[in-house]
Amino acid sequence: MNDNEHFERLWNDYLEGELHDGGIADLQQLLASDDSLLRAAADSFQVHRLLGLKAEDSEIRHEDFVRSTMERLPSSETKFVGDVVKMLPVRRTGKTFSHFLFRGVVAATLLLLLALLFFRPSPSPEVARVTRLHGAVQWTGEGGIVQDLHKAGQVLRGGTMESQSADAWAELTYRDGTTVTVSGRSLLTFSEQEQKIVHLRYGTLSANVAPQPTGRPMLVLTPSAQMNVLGTQFNVDAQSESTRLVVNEGRVRLKRNTDGKEVDVEAQQSITTSINKQDGLVPVQRAEAISGWKSDLEADVVYGKWVSRLWSLGARLKKAVAEGEMTKAAAIRAYKRDAHFDDSTGSVWAAASPVGSLIVLSPRRLMEQPVLIDANTRVVVGGRLHSQVAIRIGLSVGHPDGGFAGKYSTHIPVSQLADGEEFEIELPISEFRDKTNQDSSLIGSELTDLWFVAEASPAKFEITNVEFTDTSGRGNP
């Protein structure tokens, strides 16, 4: 066995945690004898760490990290106590009456603070009740106990609800009649003590809020904004960096987290705010609905991976270099020559999710105009399969006057889809059915998002085109 092979064996054992003490010494000796081995070890170690980081990356982990980091920050109470302690006089030789009086006041203040910290009012027994739900919905309540929710009726006392799949949704009803519906992949934490507080970590929420007591508005918090609601109907889409609010009735005051800037969003207006942008915070008026729509895949992707045509070209060239079909220099020249391609063309690849390989697209990320679904709507989908799997195509829809209207889907069997080949499917809207209510109809509703799921996580497929056409001839471009 030569040094390289010996190193490779030791290094693999090391990364797998199987190297004994003597092995570490051997490895150290090899690394000391050859700089190229040391560099190879460091390269391999860094890729190993990046692979580990990527594998554990998820919105939930991201949220956990942010939450636990925020919990570790010195609290304002601690800071205040610290400031008070700093006010204590420096050690003196003679203790005066005022000195003892001052220390007494400080001690009393600290006791009062401790009392405020530890003797808070206990939470009310019931915050909300699950009134409707469908699909994979998980609940984490008191004591951190996680349970799957299967049917309506459960009483909830504050906690976290996770709607895990694209076709899942759940409706919560508060004691005052306020309803909050989460839809698709969403993570929501809620409580009610002095006021209703809803923290939408990510996902889609639709709320119909009963009039709230004066001075105690309902608070809706997202990673990038805070909304004060007195009583109204509105929809919120939240991602880790942006929030879109659509107000259908009443008025919502939105505050941008990055700079604290506030704006009132009136009925029939919408606004999008992002932690990346500091520009104007101006609501826009609701636009006329359109019935024809072609997806801008890159802008519309909510879940899945956008891959540009230019990237694909790079991958092909790299493969050609790796297989000895061309030199690296020739590949770089070819890449530069063709880099003027419009990089906005490409496809969206399915990404793994708890319920299978998934793509979610939403017209609301780019367009102000709602997409209206009528009886003549036909859904055209183009794509390519890289596994032999069936696909379910689904639509999430809302009422034109606001609120969640349901999820409708249709099954595309394996027989219609060939592995490795492109496909184009045209579906009349009547093909889409609500699994929870076969008699309901989505005619007259507006498209919130659409999804494609293959119920096998390793299944690979890509979507290259999505269009909604209106065969009545009154569609828009």
Partner 1 sequence: MMTKQTEQDDFSPLDLIARVARGETSAFESIVRRFERPLRAWLATQAPPAVDVDELAQLTFVVVFSKLREFEPGTDFAAWLFTIARFQLKTELTRLRRVADYHARFAPELLQRELELRSSESPELQQHRLDHLTECLESLGEPLLRYLTWRYEEEIPLEEMAARSGRSVSAIKKQLWQLRRKLHECIEARMTTEGEMS
Contact 241, 231 (CB under 8 A): no
**Choices 147-155, 307-315, 355-363, 445-453 (CB under 8 A): range interacting with partner 1:** 307-315
Strands (E), 177-310: 179-192, 196-208, 218-221, 225-229, 233-238, 242-249, 251-256, 262-266, 269-274, 284-285, 293-294, 301-303, 305-308
Residues 6+ apart with CB under 8 A from 301: 348, 359, 360, 361
The nearest distance, CB 460 to partner 1, in angstroms, is: 7
**What φ, ψ does residue 192 adopt, rounded to 5°?**
-150, 110
**Choices 75-83, 168-176, 210-218, 369-377 (CB under 8 A): range interacting with partner 1:** 75-83
In angstroms, what CA-CA distances link 93 with 84, 96, 98, 99? 22, 10, 14, 12
* For partner 1, the closer CB: 16 or 439: 16
Which residues 332-361 are close enough to bind partner 1 by CB under 8 A? 332, 335-336, 339, 344, 349
The nearest distance, CB 21 to partner 1, in angstroms, is: 6
Joined tokens for residue 34? 């050859």
Which residues 229-248 are close enough to bind partner 1 by CB under 8 A? 240-241
Residues 6+ apart with CB under 8 A from 51: none
In angstroms, what CA-CA distances link 108 with 74, 75, 91? 22, 20, 20
The nearest distance, CB 223 to partner 1, in angstroms, is: 6
Contact 452, 354 (CB under 8 A): no
Structural element, H or E, at residue 470: strand 461-470
The nearest distance, CB 405 to partner 1, in angstroms, is: 32
Instruction: Examine residue 44 and tell whether it contacts partner 1 (CB under 8 A).
Output: yes
Instruction: Examine residue 49 and tell whether it contacts partner 1 (CB under 8 A).
Output: yes
What is the C-alpha to C-alpha distance for residues 189 and 61, in angstroms, rounded to an integer? 15
* For partner 1, the closer CB: 275 or 425: 275
Binding-site string for partner 1 from residue 2 to residue 41, where x marks contact by CB under 8 A and - marks none: ------xx-xxxxxx----x--xx-xx--xx-----xxxx
Amino acid at 396: S
- Binding-site member from 1, 2, 36, 54 for partner 1 (CB under 8 A): 54
* For partner 1, the closer CB: 314 or 400: 314
Which residues 202-231 are close enough to bind partner 1 by CB under 8 A? 223-224
Measured torsion, CA atoms of residues 330, 334, 337, 339, in degrees rounded to the nearest 10:
-130
The CB density around residue 263, as the number of other CB atoms within 10 Å, is 17
The nearest distance, CB 224 to partner 1, in angstroms, is: 7
- Binding-site member from 307, 334, 390, 425 for partner 1 (CB under 8 A): 307
Which residues 360-399 are close enough to bind partner 1 by CB under 8 A? 386-387
In angstroms, what CA-CA distances link 236 with 123, 228, 239, 252, 361? 27, 13, 10, 11, 16
Binding-site string for partner 1 from residue 93 to residue 122, where x marks contact by CB under 8 A and - marks none: ------------------------------
What is the C-alpha to C-alpha distance for residues 289 and 370, in angstroms, rounded to an integer? 5
The nearest distance, CB 164 to partner 1, in angstroms, is: 17
Which residues 315-334 are close enough to bind partner 1 by CB under 8 A? 315, 318-319, 328, 332
Which residues 270-299 are close enough to bind partner 1 by CB under 8 A? 275-278, 298
Instruction: Examine residue 89 and tell whether it contacts partner 1 (CB under 8 A).
Output: no
Number of residues in contact with partner 1 under rule CB under 8 A: 77
